[in-house]
Structure 1
Amino acid sequence: MEPDRDTREVIALLDRALTDSGLSQADFAVALGTSASRLSTYRSGRTRPTAVFCVRALRVASALAAARSSRLMSAPETAKAIRHAMGDEDRAWRMLLQGRDHLSLLLDQQDGCPGAWEAAPPSTGSPGFDVLLAALARREFDRAGVEPPAWCEAERLPLPWVPEHPFLDPDEVIAATPDDLKRLNVFVPARDLLTA
């Protein structure tokens, strides 16, 4: 059965949002807080999304496109860059901090609305980096007085994550870790989080 006119317009809207986002359908679904299969049913017209979902899809896609054109990393791009750098630990850390610094720039712009970081990131492939990315993003949102998106509510890791450090032994790393990270079972010295 052919979708009705309104459904066709919703499909076109979501298709345009997906294209504008620059993400795969699976990553765009994660960014919007839904599953790839659910987004697929919306894009096929089998299920109708809410108006709120459509507005969010357009807003997030537009923000992702704007960040990309400004050459600023979004949360999804930061997570993917960390994942791709996993064979090179130093590069993974640089990608994490560079993404965090780009969020800070977006928050400091006049509108203070970093929609590219409203988009939830896919997993980095490392639970430790996933939690640390969420925690650092939350810090930036809090610093700017902007309500953080839901994905910044990181859950405590079941086991301590103490990445190998070139100069400090694990006890020194733990002692030098900020309290907010300790509560998440993530142990990284504060000085290592200063700049990319």
Structure 2
Amino acid sequence: MFTGLIEEQGRVIRVDITDPGCRRLRIQTSTLPHLALGASVAVNGVCQTVIASGPDWFAVDTLEQSLGKTNLGLLGIGDAVNLERAMAGDSRFDGHIVQGHGECRVTITRWHQQGSNWYLGVRIPQEKLHLCIPEGSICLDGISLTISSIRGDEVVCNVIPHTREHTTLAHRRVGDQMNLETDIVGRYIARLAEVRGGLR
């Protein structure tokens, strides 16, 4: 489990096709400690397993499902990625519950500054819109954000300068694709309502 608080921006330094439907990403890290084999780390919000590591790098194998649903399949050498290690049991819980299960890619529709804050808009697929609520949580590229407004199929989040400067949002532009994970609590409630034919 993760919290959506990014620890570091890593950088892709090598991409290999190891098997059909599998890409091995080697990611450079400057602040994360030596990651143990088998450790879980969220890369742009997608939970990955460390399969090799060194003093300043680690490698993960990204499989076909994640390649098709997330932007990990679009990464190239030199690209920055958001990194977060799995939450420890005795850690403070400062973000929201993030599983690291990228549901789909969403497109940035707006990304601009107004005063000291930035506003990020993404277009949400119709089948995911009911899982988004104003003042609710949303995870984009592994970043825990709060929804400020919903306008049609566009979800808008207010982003403080610190978050922009310390995540890959500093490099994002309108038209870029980000990984979406909706709030797990909302997904459970929606599933319960579906199974029971509506909440009473």
Give me the TM-score of the superposition, normalised by structure 1: 0.28
Where is the strand percentage greater, Structure 1 or Structure 2? 2
Higher relative contact order (CA 8 A, sep 6+): 2
Where is the helix percentage greater, Structure 1 or Structure 2? 1
- Greater C-alpha Rg: 1
